[in-house]
Amino acid sequence: MSTSPIPVTRFAPSPTGNLHIGGARTALFNWALARKLGGHFLLRIEDTDQLRDTGRESVLGILEGLAWLGIDWDEGPAPDLGQDRDPRGVHPFYQSKRLNLYTEHLQRLLDADLAYHAFETTEELTAMRDEAKREKRAFKYEGAALNIPRDERFKRAESGEPCVVRFKAPTGDIVVKDDVLGDVTIAAGELDDFVICKADGFPTYHFAVVVDDELMGVTHVVRGQEHLANTPRHVALQQALGFRTPNYAHLPLIVNPGGGKMSKRDKDKAVRQAVRDAGLTDAPACVQDTADFAAWLKDKNRQLNQRDLLALAAALNVELPEIEVEDFRAAGYLPEVVTNYIALLGWSPGDDIEKFDLDFLAERFDTSRIGKTGARFDYKKLAAFNNDAIGAMSEEEFAQRWWDWCAAYSPELLKATGAADAPNDNFTMLAGATRPRCKTFREGVGGAAFLTTDTNDIVFDEKAVSKVLHKNDGEGIAVLRELRNELSEVQDSELRALNQWRPEHLHELIEKFSEKRELGMGKVAQPLRVALTGSTVSPPIDATLAILGKSTVLERIDRCLEAVPVGAG
């Protein structure tokens, strides 16, 4: 048993899925506190639920999420699940591997008559709860099993009769000292004799946490406020076991923009809404499991399987809300922005500083500055922060980081720019044009759609055609024809020195053209845009031309002239 002289904080996820954004904030604050105090940040995997546990993959996902955010840990599983990090020798870090430790302390409570075996079945307990509900009173287990003589309880338990172990709730008030909330007092008699060991021999969360925090020398517990109601139980257990009570700090909840719990379900809801809006009654082609879809459609409480959910979202053009860290990564947010933003949800440095990095947080973090009120997650503000961070990057940095992101999430774009192996001139040029007009990496890809769309697949926007090309007797078309001739004469060479198909030269050409024809730049650039992209929106026209390349530009102008002649629209 190590009573550590150093401050130790911990993040203790259960491996039931990916890293939730709320969990990420909890981890971040624990990390920051450890850094601030010069202590250790520890990771523990709470896998005591044999039914829900999704195992190794989940653990890897969580570790990857933390690593991506830049949150490192001193103790716990290695990022690749290799050799544990264990400088103080407090392993193992999986609760499922600590069963002997729980058993040992459980026995102490049993021997001291501070805990007892109880033999009610789940069904019996459910019935008791239902009855309590009918009678509109809170259900509390008040030691019915204690009517069985102590010897007999032990004998029945030893004989293998299924049973749980319950903790005898203390008779006095319990005071939780919280660094955020102050003293929270729970009156004597409010706690019931809760279960600390399940019938399968695994400890419940309450018991495992208390034992682990003690044995691992955890000194500070920072966790969500949803745990506040649990804390009295933990304190009571600590007292019964003769353990220290760590410093607690309960974080205000993060809720979605609607004010509800921010959960994976939000994605399901978004798709459900879109399906309703579209009036779908049968499974569209993109859905593979049609039976699941049909059942899902009928039952509001059901969640559609992940694969079809994503397929539907893509088909219906629904933007799924980002909930898990991986969602934010895939959406093209920067990790340093995500940590910055979530740090502001319930904490602030106190002055008007809002933009800061992990070093700043490690230096300034303080539990006394954690707020008490719940915080809504504001996607717009996050996006604004991301936009600012992108804007603050150098062109080179943006190009490199955007490329890195594309390599994982948008290889099509890299292929279209011929930059599949590394950022090339063309990609860099596109990046330069993209940086000021995207809030996220993914948005940047959207803005480059004109590039990835095949010439023959370009759809000419009707309004754009009539306004820009057909208006005034096809003024735009005439401009296009002339421009095509001029552009066709521009040198396009592999040799850099000879190559005139560059933004600077093209810009000059267009400028001269518009002067010669006594037209505003808009009258020249807009017809080109429509011809090249089908719409009136694109990066600056010189960049658009340069990025597309000469042959594609001429090809597209030709197709446009053919597709939308005056009078045909």
Partner RNA sequence: GGCCCCAUCGUCUAGCCUGGUCCAGGACGUCACCCUUUCACGGUGAAGACAGGGGUUCGAAUCCCCUUGGGGUCACCA
Q: Give the catalytic positions in this structure.
A: 264
Give the residue with the Cβ less far from RNA, 345 or 483.
345
Query: How many Å apart are CA 150 and CA 142, to the nearest integer?
Result: 16
Contact flag: residue 144 with RNA (CB under 7 A): no
Of 378, 396, 412, 508, the residue at the interface with RNA (CB under 7 A) is 378
Q: Restricting to residues 320-349, which ones interact with RNA according to CB under 7 A?
A: 344-346, 348
Q: Restricting to residues 227-256, which ones interact with RNA according to CB under 7 A?
A: 227-230, 252-253, 255
Least gap, CB of 235 to RNA (angstroms): 13
Give the residue with the Cβ less far from RNA, 283 or 529.
529
Give the residue with the Cβ less far from RNA, 283 or 448.
448
Least gap, CB of 289 to RNA (angstroms): 26
How many amino acids of this chain bind RNA (CB under 7 A)? Answer: 85
Torsion sign, CA atoms 260, 264, 270, 275: negative
Q: Restricting to residues 521-560, which ones interact with RNA according to CB under 7 A?
A: 521-522, 525-526, 529, 536-542
One symbol per residue from 89 to 128: x for binding RNA (CB under 7 A), - otherwise; what is it? -------------------------------xxx--x---
Give the residue with the Cβ less far from RNA, 122 or 288.
122
Q: Restricting to residues 1-30, which ones interact with RNA according to CB under 7 A?
A: 12-14
Residue 75 DSSP code? B
Q: How distant, in Å, are the alpha carbons of 21, 257, 260 from that of 263?
A: 9, 12, 9
Query: How many Å apart are CA 226 and CA 19, to the nearest integer?
Result: 17
Read out DSSP for 393-452?
Answer: S-HHHHHHHHHHHHHHH-HHHHHHTT-SSS--HHHHHHHHHHGGG-SSHHHHHHHTHHHH
CB-CB contact of 237 with 115 (8 Å): no
Least gap, CB of 277 to RNA (angstroms): 22
CB-CB contact of 539 with 434 (8 Å): yes
Give the residue with the Cβ less far from RNA, 270 or 519.
519
Query: How many Å apart are CA 49 and CA 46, to the nearest integer?
Result: 8
Q: Restricting to residues 31-60, which ones interact with RNA according to CB under 7 A?
A: 46, 48-49, 52
- The identity of residue 145, as a single letter, is A
Question: Which of these, 115, 123, 195, 116, lies nearest to 148 by C-alpha position?
Answer: 116
Give the residue with the Cβ less far from RNA, 17 or 70.
17
Of 94, 139, 356, 513, the residue at the interface with RNA (CB under 7 A) is 139
Query: How many Å apart are CA 90 and CA 66, to the nearest integer?
Result: 21
Give the residue with the Cβ less far from RNA, 26 or 428.
26
Residue 535 DSSP code? S
Least gap, CB of 521 to RNA (angstroms): 3
Of 172, 371, 411, 446, the residue at the interface with RNA (CB under 7 A) is 371
Q: Restricting to residues 181-220, which ones interact with RNA according to CB under 7 A?
A: 181-182, 184-187, 190, 194-195, 198-200, 202, 204-206
Q: Alpha carbon 554 to chain centroid distance? A: 43
Give the residue with the Cβ less far from RNA, 253 or 286.
253
Least gap, CB of 36 to RNA (angstroms): 17
- The identity of residue 285, as a single letter, is A
Least gap, CB of 522 to RNA (angstroms): 4
Q: Restricting to residues 146-175, which ones interact with RNA according to CB under 7 A?
A: 162, 164
- The identity of residue 209, as a single letter, is V
Kindly report the backbone phi and psi dihedral angles of residue 334, in degrees, each rounded to the nearest multiple of 5, phi listed first.
-85, 140
Q: Restricting to residues 382-441, which ones interact with RNA according to CB under 7 A?
A: 383-384, 387-388, 391, 436-438
Q: How distant, in Å, are the alpha carbons of 4, 201, 250 from that of 216?
A: 8, 22, 20
Question: Which of these, 332, 325, 453, 428, lies nearest to 389 by C-alpha position?
Answer: 332
| Residue found by looking up tokens 């193992």 in the block | 92
Q: Which two tokens stand for residue 307?
A: 């694969």
Q: Alpha carbon 349 to chain centroid distance? A: 24
Least gap, CB of 391 to RNA (angstroms): 5
Least gap, CB of 416 to RNA (angstroms): 19
Of 108, 507, 517, 559, the residue at the interface with RNA (CB under 7 A) is 507
